[in-house]
Chains A and B, each alone.
Chain A
């Protein structure tokens, strides 16, 4: 039997990015999540951001742990390799993969259970290493895949679907990442694509560890009255503090911003993020102040969102050293070094063995 591959019908008017690719080229397999799941909106935002950023699909590496959220790496950029690892351990896979080839773009997708419960240790250590990756938490306050138990991000007083109340304080990934010295910390909401897409773009461009915590309601187990992670509650309590717009290197910063209205943060590749403060009291470049403000608002039940902290040095020059800088590895990926540059050969061995004779 012979096969004729069906040509994809592409409407000529569909917009193309710098690589000539359309949005569909950044999609993945069909989602199997519940209809209305917040995670699917995040997937759509990732597709949009990757398309806008004109990433070569094969250079995108998608990594995840286990959970509904972790499944979504199969649902975007089908031209990129994916690794759906084990529960809570994606950061170590990301570390090894990144060590092997620093040239690729690493996107990790995890859940609040995957990151803040079973995977808390690995998450913290990836931040400490300032691994160059975008780490997205699809945060719904529950373990979706195991049917709705509270996760470590469940707020005090929130009610489970079956009526039980949570009394343990949550671990907030944003505050944690700020404390651990992350150089890019953002929060958003799956229902706010306007805010989310540019944050993903900026996170992709950031060199070093970029954390993006996205409130992402679980329609099946955590969208009821009394839940603090439902669509309704989140809409009411999320508070954009800083709007971040991504400006590629080739584009000029013009008209949209009045003088003094926005702060331009230059990334390592020359692109900029324009930060517009929506909350006058907020300074996203002052780690201590930003942390205090996020915490203060959390106490009154409000989630500040946007690019909440960014190291203007992009976590690189003068700022925190990124993983490969610390390790002093070469510019070319370790996985492409020719073998003869790795082995000292028989003469080298004879020299090495001198002290064992």
Chain B
């Protein structure tokens, strides 16, 4: 039987359970204790659109090199759900391991001779040790964490420390959880040869880092950006962003003297109302936002066009999920690229930001408000389920106390007083951005916001010339936006005329793929676009490369289409690598996709040429 050697701090565990059985706490515990051991780690949750009783998986990748995407291979499977045994066993890489609950014999798991199957009677042990049906089920899940602790050589003290933090208010739970951990741990030590070659050894690579999901980070960004009105309608996977915002506000936005809440959190009747509320609040001088997913974006279209044309700021987080229609609500995609860029009828274009990880969700939230208010237009932050709901290791978030919100060109009372007459849509500064006023400030500042035709002076119009002046100025404003949006991140260390172009959550898989390709003698450059409109460096990168792989997570190559529409790039240079299974994109998918392209075979590349047997960090 082949065995895996030297996989210290470099492997992937997958845990198959049933949702609603408390496995989430066991999984977080495992992941966090690896993180606290100083080793880069990633946690991804594949859950069903259901509350209880359907299969769910959690993937933990341990990577001493810091690769935080899916590798595409599973080295250790914890099969806790009999219903998915047959597919779970198939997924384990040759030479890998499978742990299961051997309370009941499972011949289906024993068909593979190239993996090691480890059975532990989890249910039996927990039934003997604990009372109550619910407790037994929960403890069975904690118990597998104990098995893994022994197999991977995790520090039990670290586990206790994490439990103590989690249950600071219920110390008796620390003891019962530790008891379950101990059951699994001792059983494994007595019956298996612990630790496995896949194991944890303390490192020092997580200092200055945190483990956080993108929705929590985006909510924090909104808190720090000074957002005061949040309106939404529940939809997976955006709900946790709003929940987190409310939680942060409840703890950080209460007037200590009066107990008043310095925020309004409104659960709207639908997404039409949610975006309407955001527009109303922004028009009236608050920083306001909503979070939604594809179906909500579809509903918001008419209002987005209004905000574009009436020039009202708004911030919208689109946590993308699998479409079309209801699609697969708990799976990830980047399938709203087009729907957001040109949302609503008529000539409209919207600023989009594409965060790649929680750290960017945090900073881009702040940028989104600054851009929306500076440019008086909606800004959409296109995150996705993978970034939004999974735990990512990222650099500790920092806040600059010198930051002051850019509220844009809002005239105050004294400024209005000095005006002969206020004209809402006049381009006084030549940058396409007019001045605005807020209600209740000065009667001379009053104007009529409308989505119907208007002149630059703010009056209703059906006159072609007057209408066109405003429409053309909006194009000028778009050109100004191009200079203000975040630039692309470019890595030209591949030293090649082949490039990868991508956006958002493909990033970590691409960076790992580049390392694997480089080890195989294939150098590629990489540009990660972070905004629409495309900053000027995008055009330059596209022009400078002979062949470009556009990596994105949707079927129809929406991002590639946007590039061809909005830049001068030759279509024939762009090859699509499209990942749209609903699972997070893996590095192996990208490596295989690039190598499949005849023009980039290592033999045709300068440099080493021959394929090394296996990439240093990987599992291709």
Contact = CB atoms under 8 A, between A and B. Distances in A.
Interface of A: 3, 5, 56-59, 61, 63, 73-74, 78-86, 89, 91-101, 103-104, 121-122, 124-125, 327-331, 334-337, 339, 341-346, 348-349, 352-353, 355-357
B284 A342 contact: no
Given A80-B446, A93-B283, A97-B281, A349 B451 contact: no
Interface stretch (B148-156, B257-265, B546-554, B604-612): B257-265
A58 B460 contact: no
B222 to A, nearest CB: 10
A334 B255 CA distance: 12
Interface stretch (B90-98, B399-407, B425-433): B399-407
B301 to A, nearest CB: 10
A356 B395 CA distance: 11
A349 to B, nearest CB: 5
A104 B440 contact: yes
Contact of A100 (B248, B273, B281, B397): B281
Nearest to B443: A79
A333 B40 CA distance: 45
A96 B229 contact: yes
Given A58-B439, A58-B442, A79-B443, 16 more contacts: A5-B420, A78-B446, A79-B446, A80-B446, A81-B440, A83-B280, A85-B279, A86-B303, A96-B278, A99-B286, A335-B228, A342-B262, A343-B224, A349-B224, A352-B248, A357-B210
A344 B398 CA distance: 12
B253 interface: yes
B397 to A, nearest CB: 6
B205 to A, nearest CB: 14
A100 B285 contact: yes
A16 B478 CA distance: 48
B472 to A, nearest CB: 23
B229 to A, nearest CB: 5
B404 A330 contact: no
B439 A80 contact: yes
A339 B253 CA distance: 11
A323 B566 CA distance: 45
Nearest to B305: A86
B367 to A, nearest CB: 15
Given A85-B276, A95-B276, A97-B283, A356 B211 contact: yes
A100 B288 contact: yes
A103 B248 contact: no
Given A84-B449, A99-B277, A328-B260, A343 B223 contact: yes
Contacts of B401: 345-346
Given A92-B272, A100-B288, A86 B264 contact: no
B173 interface: no
- B: contact size bracket: 35 or more
Contacts of A81: 437-440, 445-449
B50 interface: no
B16 interface: no
Interface in B267-308: 268-270, 272-286, 288, 302-303, 306
B273 A89 contact: yes
B220 interface: yes
Contacts of B274: 92
A342 B248 CA distance: 11
B231 interface: yes
A75 B398 CA distance: 50
B265 A327 contact: yes
Contact of A331 (B260, B272, B438): B260
A111 to B, nearest CB: 15
Contacts of A61: 284, 439-440
Nearest to A124: B269
